[in-house]
Amino acid sequence: MPGFITIEGIEGSGKSTLRSKLADFVRSSDREVIITREPGATDLGRSLRNILLSPETKNLSSHAELMLFCADRAQHVEEVIRPALERGAVVLCDRYVHSTLAYQGYGRGLDMEILSSISNFVTGGLMPDMVLLLDLDPAEALGRVQTRAEKSTLSFNVSRLEQQGEIDRFEQQSLEFHTRIRDGFLKLAEEDPQRFTIIDAANDPDSVLSEAISAIKAVSS
């Protein structure tokens, strides 16, 4: 089984749903499994996540946004991901470097070469063995996010943002922004077909799970 697997895609494509379903399959391999995400997997990351996602954060420049995601990732790699991989654990991570390339590169228009080089710097060159890209039409994905926000106002067991039924700073962006990001992810996958598996996220959650499992088995054999 690959040691370091990431799940990527636009918001609402079903990454968190797949991440928790996939955890049971990965655990069956008898290896330690670390389930993690970006931003927000460390103490520092949780503070940065609040700043990055809160709709109350106004006028954050694209460069400042990039640096906050990079700070989150640098801490995450050093504190969580690298030690886990060195222990022989399987790391399943919801978003990583390819989110920066898609959002800050294709979404915000920052220079791709500079983004690659900064990503390389903050991760010490650590790249995932496998990327599961959940591909979904942005209108459908944002519709899912909207429905979830409406439902979450009734639930107590959720984060502050979700508790208020709020749509976060990225989810508030235009459909055009999300379309650029979806296209960006597809371009990244096309450029790196060995690493990426594209999964049709319009299918029901169990079909998405079984496609992901088949892809992992295919690279494990």
Using CB under 6 A, list all residues that contact ligand T5A. Answer: 9, 11-17, 38-39, 53, 69, 95, 99-100, 103-104, 144-145, 148, 168, 170, 201, 204-205, 208
**Residue 131 DSSP symbol:** E
Burial of 47 (0-12, 13-18, 19+ CB in 10 A): middle
Least distance (Å) from ligand T5A to the CB of residue 30?
27
Residue 206: its H or E element: helix 205-220
Q: Among 175, 178, 150, which Cα is nearest to 162's? A: 150
Query: Please, what is the minimum distance in Å from the beta carbon of residue 196 to ligand T5A?
Result: 16
Min separation Cβ 1 and ligand T5A, Å? 22
Torsion of CA 121, 127, 133, 137, to 10 degrees: 10
Least distance in angstroms from the C-beta of 86 to ligand T5A: 22
17 vs 163, beta carbon nearer ligand T5A = 17
Query: Closest approach of Cβ 88 to ligand T5A, in Å?
Result: 25
Closest to ligand T5A by CB, 24 vs 32, is 24
- Residue 67 makes CB contacts below 8 A (sequence gap 6+) with none
Q: Which is nearer to ligand T5A, 15 or 195 (CB)?
A: 15
- DSSP letters for 67-86: HHHHHHHHHHIIIIIHHHHH
Of 95 and 180, CB closest to ligand T5A: 95
- For ligand T5A, the closer CB: 48 or 216: 48
Cβ atoms of residues 105 and 180 within 8 Å: no
Q: Which is nearer to ligand T5A, 32 or 150 (CB)?
A: 150
Strands ordered across the beta sheet of 130-135: 33-37, 90-94, 4-9, 130-135, 196-200
C-beta of 145: minimal distance to ligand T5A in Å?
Answer: 5
Look up residue 12 and give its two tokens: 């609402």
Length of the chain: 221
